Structure 1
């Protein structure tokens, strides 16, 4: 152990904690909105606005743009048009992925305490892997994570349990000694399927649904409650 902190009871016996990124550790919707709207304008459509984008986040960047195009056109886009829109989004988001992205209150303190306690911390997000490091560096939390997995890092992404099981195997930790922390039903479903304990936060992006509806083992209002 690197040090001692009093911890929330849900952490008893937990050796590895997996975190979602968007909506759990950081509020990235302002930057995502800029990129979505710019991509839509590039394609001759009006921007969607932050209110809509906030409800579309959670299943990766391709699904984000599919929802944006469905909203703009009223019908699902053909694969070629979706491919083009997704490429425009990636280019636009790559220009400034963390200009407006901020940590949620309590995140830094929780990560520091968990890291100090000697637990392995991993990041499992559906965001493309290329954007993870810039955001972690910009928010100053990159040093805490021993492994970062994006939505394109493995053949499947959340709610598939593969990324979580991969992380547990990587660090040789039994799944029952792992905790998945997230803001959406996809995080909770992935955690349950992997055999992880699950913890939900209610402030993120869950398509307008309370995260408690997904039945996590624990819900906390802020990650600061973990320490």
Structure 2
């Protein structure tokens, strides 16, 4: 087996978090006098971190105006307050996640989460979902100076795990994961059930598309 570590995205890869993100986003909009958006619309805004989610959510308005920095800051405060309340409440594991993580663990591969979600939301979510114990390290959206699709978070995870990038495997659901892994010289798999900002994962430049984390483990063991 050529891989000694696996780096996993969180939202849209391990957990379906859209119901909670949509609830917090719409609570923010209502507090600001805006009408709610559909879960599918909000799902298309997920992937580049909370600030991007809030900015795009606030930009969806009848006037077509882009919020200024002060409006985004206010939105972030309101969103964060609501998301802290609902974080993990309706989030569910995707099929095959536990089986795949257990298979990776049994093989001796080191594991880390690499997500664009801020630490303040990531750690409670991993605890609440029962996944925290699988991972040696957690790299969040505010751990490094730059987020995915920049390679920095993946390379930082490799340093923490003490593995070379070429010996690691990344697994995600979006263009951010694919671009970051390619730039870091890390093999990358995509799952088709996540968000990918509303785009088809078949358009991504990845090593393969797998139907589940369990299938990703089997792919890793035979490649």
Report whether the alignment pairs 1:33 with 2:12: no
Distance 1:169 1:148 in 2: 12
Residue in structure 2 matching 1:181, options 165, 171, 179? 171
User: How many angstroms apart in 2 are the aligned matches of 1:182 and 1:36?
Assistant: 23
> Take 1:93 and 1:52, find their aligned partners in 2: how far apart are those partners?
18
* TM-score scaled by length of structure 2: 0.94
Q: Distance in 2 between matches of 1:205 and 1:146?
A: 26
- Find the counterpart in structure 1 of residue 185 from structure 2: 195
For residues 32 and 56 of structure 1, the distance between their equivalents in structure 2, rounded to whole angstroms, comes to 10
Q: Structure 1: how far apart are the matches of 2:89 and 2:159?
A: 35
Deviates more, 1:89-98 or 1:167-176: 167-176
Q: How far apart, CA to CA, are the structure 1 residues paired with 2:20 and 2:106? A: 31
Match of 1:47 in 2: 36
SS of the residue corresponding to residue 112 of structure 1 reads helix
Q: Deviations over 1:136-188 (max 9, x none)?
A: 12211111000001111111110010111111122221111011100000001
Q: Distance in 2 between matches of 1:77 and 1:138?
A: 33
**Mapped partners of 1:142, 1:54: distance in 2:** 24
The equivalent of 1:151 in structure 2 is 141
Distance 1:153 1:15 in 2: 23
The alignment status of 1:171 with 2:161, answered yes or no, reads yes
Distance (whole Å) between structure 1 residues aligned to residue 114 and residue 186 of structure 2? 13
Contact 2:136–2:161 under 8 Å retained in 1: no
Contact 2:137–2:160 under 8 Å retained in 1: no
Unmatched tracts of structure 2, length 5 or more: 219-223
Q: Judge conservation of contact 2:114–2:154 (CA < 8 Å) in 1.
A: yes
User: Aligned pair 1:59/2:71, yes or no?
Assistant: no
Find out whether 1:99 has 2:89 as its counterpart.
Answer: yes
Q: Deviations along 1:89-138, whole A, 9 cap, x unmatched? A: 01110112011000000000000110111111000000111111221122
Compute the TM-score of the two structures, normalised by the length of structure 1.
0.92
**Cα distance in 1 for residues equivalent to 2:140 and 2:157:** 12
Counterpart Cα distance in 1 of 2:17 and 2:117:
11
